[in-house]
Structure 1
Amino acid sequence: MTTQTSSPTIILIPGHWLGAWAWEDVLGHLRTEHAGAVAITLPGLDGDDPDRATRTLDDQADAILDAITRLEASGDQPTTIVAHSGANAPVSLVLDRHPELVHRVVWVDSGPVADGSVFAPDIPEAVTELPLPPFDVLAQQASLEGLSTAVLERFRARAVPEPAPVLRQPVELTNDARRTVRTTLVCCSIPSAQVLELAKAGHSMFAEVANLERLDVIDLPTGHWPMWSRPRDLAEVIRSEVARTD
């Protein structure tokens, strides 16, 4: 499932349990600004795919690269990737394999992962997928600030369980050039000063941030899903970052 405009330059990738639909509000604002964009649903998160529970991180990375190819990205005309939350693992793989095709990566309450990272290494082999947990449980892991009851109901109704192979597959990274790609951290549920402090301290979730060579940080205070709580503001941040050449 893909939502697109006639001249896309941006690929928006949602995090766990989400499809392209999660970016609808942001896309509406981006189009108002005449910026081309596509939002994609990663393999394993299409509820109509009968084999979705078997999809892997490699499948997801390949799907992102396929989208870049469709945009005819090249070293002279690279694409901007906007990645939310759990999209960080497949996007890190893409940056490792083809950094020359990415003009900038905008991490939305997210960031690059380190070599060897595994999202959920302790998931039993018998488990095939991870459904969206109850919101009281989810709120202990990620901020729900700014989400109305209607938004939460839509989230629950449209969420697709995350394939277990995606969650237990180690991320293998070998190309240091991934760290030279222009990078913007959009910090929402954790202030940028704290993120940078944690990165400097070697915190496992943020350690790779300390290795980035061209890094910008932007604070957009809200919960973990700013595409719903502050879609207009997030679209403006994306538009501004896409336009930058430094």
Structure 2
Amino acid sequence: MKVVLVPGLWLTASSWDAVVPTLLAAGHRPEPLSMPGIGIPAAGSAQVGIADWIAEVVRVVDRDDEPVVLVGHSGGANVVWGAADARPDRVARVVFIDAVPPLDGAVIWEFPIVDGVVPFPGWDSFDEEEVADLDAPTRQRVEEQVTWIPARIPTDPISLSDDRRHGVPITVITCLMPSVDVRRTIDAGAPWVAELAAADEVEIIDLPGGHWPQFAQPEALGKALVASIRSEPVAEN
């Protein structure tokens, strides 16, 4: 199975390096992506919006005839869900890593713009529970990989138009919120999980830890991805 790996904000294809071997060993064909405009100064990236990132994933989906699995970490959730909306008949499953599918019109988040781009804001800008499992050497290594993103990306609203996306199977690999709480939130009708509530099939996998498991526990993340792609039942806490 081709597995398209979409990073979160500030990250490139290299952020999946430690996850890829587990997918390869399971017989899958991972394709990590770096998104358009990342690391390019404002003069060359100011017009790049979330629709361009979605279009890049759609281009990869369309390149082969076979169905694909889309994986999105954090802000990459908006990208993969937009691509699933554009190609619901071509996507075998969408996997969200510590994220949920966004609502129509949703944005990722607002971050400071510097020199016309959005730089990585630093570890201190995140809640402690999000970064607690990243030791100092890992944080330094990640800082060496991250780069700025186009200014429009975090606040560009996503446009969803094809209800057939709700027929695409979903896996949520949840790190910060236990799966039982995610289920309760869905059952309670919370607006921010409305896309999960509307989905025909939702699997939730617990992977306790911080917000960046591809760095803190890449092998465990890889195994969770393999299990979700096989559609194997995974015990929930």
Q: Give the one of 32, 43, 51 matched to 2:44.
A: 51
Give 1:118 shift. Answer: 2.1
Partner of 1:184: 171
Give 1:136 shift. Answer: 1.6
SS at match of 1:38: strand
Give 1:161 shift. Answer: 1.9
- Contact 2:71–2:80, Cα closer than 8 Å, also in 1: no
Aligned residues: 233
Once the two structures are superposed, the pairs formed by residues 1-246 of structure 1 within 5 Å of their partners are: 9-47=2-40, 51-70=44-63, 72-73=64-65, 77-120=66-109, 128-139=116-127, 143-244=130-231
Task: Tell me which amino acid in the other structure corresponds to 2:62.
Answer: T
Q: TM (normalized to structure 2)?
A: 0.88
Structure 1 runs (4+) greater than 4 angstroms displaced: 46-50, 122-127
- RMSD over aligned CA atoms reads 2.5
- Contact 1:80–1:106, Cα closer than 8 Å, also in 2: yes
For 2:152 and 2:81, locate their aligned partners in 1 and report how far apart those are by CA, in whole Å.
Answer: 17
Give 1:110 shift. Answer: 1.0
- Name the % identity: 27
SS at match of 2:29: coil
Mean Cα deviation higher: 37-46 or 79-88:
37-46
Cα 1:86–1:124 shift into 2, 3 Å: closer
Cα 1:203–1:44 shift into 2, 3 Å: farther
- Contact 2:42–2:116, Cα closer than 8 Å, also in 1: no
For 1:171 and 1:194, locate their aligned partners in 2 and report how far apart those are by CA, in whole Å.
Answer: 26
Q: TM (normalized to structure 1)?
A: 0.85
For 2:114 and 2:10, locate their aligned partners in 1 and report how far apart those are by CA, in whole Å.
Answer: 20
Give 1:160 shift. Answer: 1.5
Unaligned runs of 5+ in 1: 1-7
SS at match of 1:37: strand
Unaligned runs of 5+ in 2: none
- Contact 2:47–2:152, Cα closer than 8 Å, also in 1: yes
Residue deviations 1:224-245 (CA, integer Å, cap 9, x gap): 1111111111111111222239
Task: Tell me which amino acid in the other structure corresponds to 1:237.
Answer: A
For 1:124 and 1:134, locate their aligned partners in 2 and report how far apart those are by CA, in whole Å.
Answer: 11
Residue deviations 1:189-210 (CA, integer Å, cap 9, x gap): 1111222223334445433211
Task: Tell me which amino acid in the other structure corresponds to 1:90.
Answer: V
- Contact 1:53–1:162, Cα closer than 8 Å, also in 2: no
SS at match of 1:81: strand
SS at match of 1:90: helix
Task: Tell me which amino acid in the other structure corresponds to 1:198.
Answer: T
For 1:61 and 1:223, locate their aligned partners in 2 and report how far apart those are by CA, in whole Å.
Answer: 26
SS at match of 1:82: strand
Task: Tell me which amino acid in the other structure corresponds to 1:137.
Answer: S
- Contact 1:11–1:37, Cα closer than 8 Å, also in 2: yes
